[in-house]
């Protein structure tokens, strides 16, 4: 327990990687599961009035917002804008939308294309590829089809068609994002943004930031780029990162995936469904180190062992040489602990999925005395930027991958909304423990809050009990109707108060199912209360219904949750 606990604490699960990245990752900040040290001490329910827990401001559809706020407001006295956001990724976009809703005159600076990593090189195109891989998997599974009484002859795919689907999806979402910004009247300023001083931003071509604007508040949302450890030569053809892989220019017969976190796992799902054989290279002693150990174990049984996948754990890829002159891609493996040479792999391609590094160079942070920590911009729990001497810099915030708190698109957006709330005078601290995460393999994996080892450590420190409840998809009617009974949902909670500490799901549509749990955590709903909520039958959501019902809480229904009589 102790060993796995320290593993998941020291390794940023959001940034799956096999090689240590001493120059990139801040050990002090935990990403992904929302387990920052600060967050661990954060009580989910603060006294009302002083802090908002999670203001769940539903993102208003853009047209309606236009009608409501009639444009982008007018700036405060003496400033060009109320708010300037550097970076038009999902984080910047979420912040901009909320800012306009709050009546702030807003500009967003983008040096590349709107949408950032998620839309153009990340979550969005990868979902297109995974949609294809999921269907391929179903069509190739003769046993499964036969059980359903279906007959399909020789399923195949057109690689270019698959690649086009991913590309088309990315451009469609990018256009949606751009249009929603334009429709709201957010000024999209093209160029690379640099902090010129307090409340001052310059932007323009790289190296020539010739236009200066002033803003009452500034948000840095510059995101991240794939992290490539030293010794790995990326040629973009046979050795590449997710940026290239998402274009699906070819499907190698044998691909090594360095790093078995989310990115690696999703790509293994895509490549193995399209016919590749996959070899994982993982620095830690077990695959999928970021997951709850029990989920990780099941995931290995379901997603790795039955497929054409093998793995090397406890090894670093010390050197990777791209294929050339008729030679294959060479991967030199060394023991992660002893650094002794361990093995050499000869493969057709290598995907480097060792996590992501913040993209904060050239931001002019030195102009205002900010020292990045391995590239990450230091912030407090309100995303306010901290300077070299530990003081808060007024009017400057940093959200998303650039601060490294939790490297997820929707976390960045939530942080942006939280910042806009503060700018508007409403103090707000985002509860990162309520932010769900998902891995879109087949079946999917999702989680929110703490893993069991993390919860048990906290319980030991703070002296409370932890209980675990589990339900299986095998018992769910809808899952069985789909012939997808493989899966597990796991609830980690306090039996004394009914507080939900974490929920982990592996199974069909897990990524969509997690929100009942994440919302419960965000709103402070207790197990003993949510178990009375009704779920439609037969649906997969009953897996969570069963989960909550199987929990044993030693306290009654919360007084506040007694339902008011409703007319029927």
Partner 1 sequence: MAGVGQLHLGTPFLPSASIRGRSSGGGGSRRLTTRIQAKIREIFMPALSSTMTEGKIVSWVRAEGDKLSKGESVVVVESDKADMDVETFYEGYLAAIMVEEGDVAAVGSAIALLAETEDEIPLAKSQASSSSSPAASPPAAETPVPPSPSETAPEAVSSPPPSPKSSQAAVSSTHPASESGRRIVATPYAKKLAKDLKVELGSVAGSGPMGRIVAKDVEAAAAVAAAAAPVSSVPPKSISDSAAVKAPASPAIQLGTVVPFTTMQGAVSKNMVESLSVPTFRVGYTITTDALDSLYKKIKSKGVTMTALLAKATALALTKHPVVNSSCRDGKSFTYNSSINIAVAVAIDGGLITPVLQDADKVDIYSLSRKWKELVDKARAKQLQPHEYNNGTFTLSNLGMFGVDRFDAILPPGTGAIMAVGASQPTVVATKDGRIGVKSQMQVNVTADHRVIYGADLAAFLQTLAKIIEDPKELTL
Given the rule CB under 8 A, which residues bind partner 1?
141-143, 253-254, 277-279, 294, 297-298, 300-302, 304-306, 308-313, 327-328, 343-344, 346, 348, 470-472, 474, 485-488, 490
Say whether 93 is catalytic.
no
> Hey, CA dihedral for 361, 362, 363, 367, is it positive or negative?
positive
Q: Are 255 and 353 in contact (CB under 8 A)?
A: no
- The answer on whether 567 is annotated among ligand-binding residues is no
- For residue 342, give Cα distances in angstroms to 309, 331, 338, 391, 459: 19, 11, 10, 47, 39
Distances (CA, A) of 36 to 50, 55, 168, 254, 515: 21, 20, 37, 38, 21
- Return the SS3 of 331: strand
Q: Nearest approach, Cβ of 98 to partner 1 (angstroms)?
A: 40
Residue 90 or residue 489: which is nearer to partner 1 going by CB? 489
Q: Which residue number, 170 or 547, has a Cβ lying nearer to partner 1?
A: 547
Q: Is 277 annotated as a binding residue?
A: no
Tell me: is residue 183 an annotated ligand-binding position: no
- Give the DSSP H/E element, type plus range, for residue 507: strand 500-507
> How far is 443 from 131, CA to CA, in rounded Å?
12
Q: What's the full length of the chain, in residues?
A: 568
CA–CA separation, 395 vs 220, rounded Å? 11
Q: Measured from the CB of residue 470, what is the shortest distance to partner 1 in angstroms? A: 5
SS3 category, 257: strand
Task: Pick between residue 308 and residue 426 the one whose CB is nearest to partner 1.
Answer: 308
Closer residue to partner 1 in complex, CB, 386/488: 488
Name residue 317's beta-bridge partners: 333
Is 264 annotated as belonging to a binding site?
Answer: yes
Return d(Cα 455, Cα 475) in angstroms, integer.
27
Residue 309 CB, nearest approach to partner 1 (Å): 6
* Least distance in angstroms from the C-beta of 504 to partner 1: 11
Helices and strands of the chain, counted as H and E runs: 17, 23
Closest by CA to 113, choosing from 170, 37, 159, is: 170
Q: Nearest Cα to 223, choosing from 341, 122, 369?
A: 122
Q: Indicate the residue among 306 and 559 with the shorter CB distance to partner 1.
A: 306
Confirm or deny that 416 is annotated as ligand binding: no
For the CB of residue 412, give the shortest distance to partner 1 in the complex, in Å.
33
Is 262 within any annotated ligand binding site?
A: yes
Q: Is 409 annotated as a binding residue?
A: yes
C-alpha atoms less than 13 angstroms from C-alpha of 156 in its C-beta half-sphere: 4
- Residue nearer to partner 1 on the CB measure, 18 or 224: 18
Q: What's the closest the beta carbon of residue 155 comes to partner 1, in angstroms? A: 15
Catalytic residue from among 93, 244, 432, 537: 537
Q: Are strands 277-282 and 200-205 parallel, antiparallel or unpaired?
A: unpaired
Q: Is 224 annotated as a binding residue?
A: yes
CB closer to partner 1, 216 vs 312: 312
Q: For residue 265, say whether it is annotated as part of any ligand binding site.
A: yes
In whole angstroms, what is the distance from residue 392 CA to residue 387 CA?
Answer: 6
Burial class of 104 by CB neighbour count within 10 A (0 to 12, 13 to 18, 19+): buried
Can you say which residues are annotated as belonging to the binding site? 127, 193, 222-224, 259-266, 282, 355, 401, 407-410
Can you say which residues are annotated as belonging to the binding site for FAD? 127, 193, 222-224, 401, 407-410
Can you say which residues are annotated as belonging to the binding site for NAD(+)? 259-266, 282, 355
Q: Which residues are catalytic, by number?
A: 537
């Amino acid at each position: 327990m102790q060993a796995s606990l320290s593993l998941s604490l020291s390794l940023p699960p959001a940034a799956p990687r096999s090689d240590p990245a001493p120059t990139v990752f801040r050990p002090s900040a935990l990403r992904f599961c929302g387990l920052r040290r600060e967050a661990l001490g954060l009580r989910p329910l603060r006294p009302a009035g002083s802090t908002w827990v999670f203001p769940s401001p539903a993102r208003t559809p853009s047209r309606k917002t236009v009608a409501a706020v009639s444009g982008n407001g007018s700036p405060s006295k003496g400033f060009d804008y109320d708010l300037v956001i550097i970076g038009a990724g999902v984080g910047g976009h979420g912040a901009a939308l909320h800012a306009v809703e709050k009546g702030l005159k807003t500009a967003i600076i983008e040096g590349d294309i709107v949408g950032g990593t998620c839309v153009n090189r990340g979550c969005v195109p990868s979902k297109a590829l995974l949609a294809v891989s999921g269907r391929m998997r179903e069509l190739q599974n003769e046993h499964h089809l036969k059980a359903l009484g279906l007959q399909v002859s020789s399923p195949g795919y057109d690689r270019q068609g698959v690649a086009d689907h991913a590309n088309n999806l990315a451009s469609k979402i990018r256009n949606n994002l751009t249009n929603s910004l334009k429709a709201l009247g957010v000024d999209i300023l093209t160029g690379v943004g640099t902090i010129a001083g307090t409340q001052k931003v310059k932007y323009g071509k790289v190296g020539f930031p010739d236009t200066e604007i002033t803003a009452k508040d500034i948000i840095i949302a510059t995101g991240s780029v794939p992290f490539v450890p030293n010794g790995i030569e990326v040629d973009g053809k046979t050795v590449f990162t997710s940026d290239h892989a998402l274009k699906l220019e070819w499907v190698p017969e044998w691909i090594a995936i360095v790093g078995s976190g989310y990115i690696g796992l999703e790509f293994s799902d895509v490549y193995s469904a399209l016919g590749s054989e996959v070899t994982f290279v993982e620095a830690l002693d077990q695959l999928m180190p970021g997951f709850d150990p029990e989920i990780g174990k099941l995931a290995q049984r379901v997603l790795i062992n039955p497929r054409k996948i093998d793995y090397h754990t406890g090894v670093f890829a010390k050197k990777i040489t791209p294929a050339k002159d008729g030679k294959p891609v060479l991967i030199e493996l060394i023991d992660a602990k002893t650094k002794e040479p361990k093995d050499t792999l000869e493969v057709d391609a290598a995907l480097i999925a060792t996590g992501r590094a913040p993209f904060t160079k050239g931001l002019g942070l030195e102009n205002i005395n900010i020292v990045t920590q391995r590239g990450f911009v230091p912030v407090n729990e309100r995303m306010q930027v901290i300077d070299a001497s530990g003081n808060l810099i007024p009017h400057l915030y940093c959200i998303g991958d650039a601060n490294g708190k939790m490297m997820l698109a929707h976390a960045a957006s939530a942080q942006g909304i939280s910042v806009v709330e503060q700018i508007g005078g409403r103090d707000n601290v985002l509860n990162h423990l309520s932010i769900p995460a998902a891995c879109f393999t087949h079946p999917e994996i999702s989680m929110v809050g703490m893993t069991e080892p993390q919860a048990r450590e906290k319980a030991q420190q703070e002296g409370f009990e932890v209980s675990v409840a589990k339900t299986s998809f095998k018992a769910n009617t809808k899952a069985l109707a789909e012939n997808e009974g493989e899966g597990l949902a796991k609830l980690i909670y306090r039996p004394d108060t009914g507080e939900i500490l974490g929920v982990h799901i592996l199974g069909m549509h897990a990524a969509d199912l997690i929100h009942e749990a994440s919302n419960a955590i965000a709103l402070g709903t207790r197990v003993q209360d949510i178990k009375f909520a009704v779920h439609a039958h037969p649906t997969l959501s009953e897996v969570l219904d069963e989960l909550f019902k199987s929990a044993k809480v030693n306290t009654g229904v919360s007084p506040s949750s007694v339902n008011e009589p409703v007319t029927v």
